[in-house]
Structure 1
């Protein structure tokens, strides 16, 4: 990780869960981390626990469903801190609806945050990396539901798995583009199983949450450690995919 010390990392959805854990561990590794989220006050609170860390954490308010806010946030990073070296596309969204009864708006927002925002953030970050000849790293937070079908007691994931299948395809597309254009930039997809996180509170109101948490689980810090592992590999090593199950998980 020494080569990343003092460099800039952007973490989307950094207010809680995996995003907060990732921001925290990267600051402790000496990076300048920019956390993007709507609940920017939670990132500001996190900075108070990192005053002795060798890196720094910056909180930037950003609604990832709005392109203009993403563009403004990344522009702020470039103008005030410098070029980005690492992008962690962590922000995600899902709402408990199904495919045969509920409204279109929730489905659209899921794709806006999980797919379109990821593409916008990646495009803008990679643009900066290429302008400055930076062999950076893009990390996409995926899910096991984006790799194969998963059955839950109540079918309330609606378009969420489809959005994560898109992340799987886009990550491979990026790998091919980075190779074709000889950028030296890496891309990694990390697909965890059940992770204890505030994120789950948004779509498990029918007993599914209790059922999920009654078995083996991962914690945000486990996924953050996996991110550090991928960043720690030598420049010639491309870790493209990581699957993470808690030991004994049935998914």
Structure 2
């Protein structure tokens, strides 16, 4: 019993327009899932459709930092597709911001998207599953190796704090579901450096002298498809198996 058990089921992927989210969308389409790609740039999600893939793609505009936008997206899925069976919380932001002189607006955006938005999406998905009696659903957070250790990178402590929060929220969710007698599974994938559009944009805006971002192209990195593969592995496990965390590092990484 592998991922084929989810063929035809509905998976919602946040932050789906590019990078890791886009790779996850296409990987799920190839395995026959009905995929809802949620992103602010819904037109970019539409471009991810695969002509020969057995799955079907729907693009929904949504901003994970805006609760009303999240609720509207989940309502669309409920009204048009019946509800969410799998949620992949991929959306995330990582501006460079110092703890001693950073801007409050940057801190707030990190926490609004990486922590609060993720939590709202999770709540809505779980409530939907429980309400429909779905007992084989799955919630997967795309975390980061920064959620396990504070890397020596200037301006990334607030981001790391948000990802540490994701790790704690995942374990809290698992225990909440166990207390409810639910068999909905949860897990997280924690990758090292992935050279996505988002990270390259951050690097371009990084202050001169930032060692990490100035040497970005010289640091071993993963491809987005590597993270998507970890998601597929997690979904492919027998219902008795709950893979809580997969840490995926580039070979030779110094971090």
User: Aligning the two structures, in what range does the TM-score lie when normalised by the shorter sequence?
Assistant: over 0.9
**Which residue in the other structure is 1:239 paired with?**
243
Matched, 1:98 2:102: no
Deviation, 1:166, is 0.3
**Which residue in the other structure is 1:44 paired with?**
46
**Which residue in the other structure is 2:178 paired with?**
179
Contact 1:12 1:90 in 2 (8 A): yes
Deviation, 1:83, is 1.9
Contact 2:144 2:189 in 1 (8 A): yes
Distance in 1 (CA, whole Å) between partners of 2:162 and 2:109 is: 11
Distance in 2 (CA, whole Å) between partners of 1:46 and 1:11 is: 13
Contact 1:25 1:224 in 2 (8 A): yes
Structure 1 segments unaligned to the other structure (5+ residues): none
The alignment's TM-score, normalised by the length of structure 1, stands at 0.95
The alignment's TM-score, normalised by the length of structure 2, stands at 0.94
> Which whole-Å deviations, capped at 9, do the CAs of 1:158-209 have from their partners, x for residues lacking one?
4100000000100010111111111101110111111111121343224533
Distance in 2 (CA, whole Å) between partners of 1:177 and 1:89 is: 18
Distance in 1 (CA, whole Å) between partners of 2:201 and 2:221 is: 18
**Which residue in the other structure is 1:122 paired with?**
122
Deviation, 1:210, is 4.3
* CA RMSD after TM alignment: 1.1
**Which residue in the other structure is 1:167 paired with?**
166
Where does structure 1 differ by over 4 angstroms across 4 or more consecutive aligned residues? none
Matched, 1:223 2:227: yes
Distance in 2 (CA, whole Å) between partners of 1:58 and 1:107 is: 32
Aligned counterparts, 1:39-118, within 5 A: 39-47=41-49, 50-118=50-118
Contact 2:150 2:157 in 1 (8 A): no
Contact 2:25 2:48 in 1 (8 A): no
- 3-state SS of paired residue (1:83): coil
**Which residue in the other structure is 1:5 paired with?**
7
Matched, 1:15 2:27: no
